[in-house]
Structure 1
């Protein structure tokens, strides 16, 4: 099922409407796939299109999209939450390389811990549902 249709159906199931404001915010994330946007960055882009929308609309919409599993909230240790779109058609387990000097965030797609997860489940019976791995260092 195409991502947009899936998102729309999730919203309807939970009693939410796809208002023009929500569509504009969702579209910003769709147009910036692979990037990790803060609420302020989304607001800056939204303001260029809709100058009358407030930042509270951005925060409420982002919270709703996180609750629906459409966005994933990320913390990179700089005091700002960032968000990325969760596309079921793309690999969900990727890692983040975070430069401690310039703040650049690079996604690393190689699954480094699959065998570790299997060993944990085999030894403990614990079924891992999700994970987040961040590497901090210096980019080139």
Structure 2
């Protein structure tokens, strides 16, 4: 599956992250910068800490997995990352970039695990209803649709045909 989606200005995003960290009293160390670079390069994916660590090893970085976890925690606390969990229960990370100011939705195939992002805000009417009826201003939301992707539906149809 292609990474597709919007084109990202990685230098601008790196600068934005650096400024946010600096304002919160953190430095963008070379290790943290390498982790952010992996997140930027894979911004259409939802990588786990271990997957980020593997990418860093491939790029010949030699710091520990604990550094990855600490950095992810800092970035999450600063609202630069969102921690998401899908059907596999593994914590994955979604970089909050300028094209993702509001959380997007996910389609997760329960058979093969493929995850697709929906970049339309499908819940703006619901947020207005919540504000009006409950006097609660929603700042963000998470919505995951579980089901079968087109490929798994096709495989299921083919499999069902062979059993008849």
**TM-score (norm. length: structure 1):** 0.92
Q: How many positions carry a matched residue from both structures? A: 139
Query: 1:91: Cα distance to partner?
Result: 4.9
Q: Which of 119, 127, 131 is residue 121 of structure 1 equivalent to?
A: 131
Give the secondary-structure state (helix, strand or coil) at the position aligned to 1:98. Answer: strand
Greater RCO structure (CA 8 Å; 6+ sep):
1
Task: State how far apart, in whole Å, the 2-side matches of 1:78 and 1:46 are.
Answer: 23
State the partner residue of 2:8.
none
Q: Which structure shows the higher helix fraction?
A: 2
Task: State how far apart, in whole Å, the 2-side matches of 1:32 and 1:55 are.
Answer: 18
Question: Is 2:33 the counterpart of 1:27?
Answer: no
State the partner residue of 2:70.
60
Deviations 1:5-45 (A, max 9, x none): 22111111222111111110000001111110000110000
Which structure has the larger Rg?
Answer: 2
In the TM superposition, structure 1's runs of 4+ consecutive aligned residues that sit over 6 Å from their partners are: none
State the partner residue of 2:23.
13
State the partner residue of 2:79.
69
Aligned-pair Cα RMSD in Å: 1.4
Give the secondary-structure state (helix, strand or coil) at the position aligned to 1:7. Answer: helix
CA contact (8 A) 2:48 2:93 kept: yes
Query: 1:124: Cα distance to partner?
Result: 2.0
- Unpaired runs of 5+ residues, structure 1, are none
Query: 1:3: Cα distance to partner?
Result: 2.3
- Unpaired runs of 5+ residues, structure 2, are 1-11, 151-164
Tell which deviates more after alignment, 21-30 or 107-116: 107-116
Task: State how far apart, in whole Å, the 1-side matches of 2:44 and 2:61 are.
Answer: 26
Query: 1:76: Cα distance to partner?
Result: 0.6
Question: Is 2:122 the counterpart of 1:112?
Answer: yes
Structure 2 counterparts to residues 89-104 of structure 1, below 5 A: 89-104=99-114
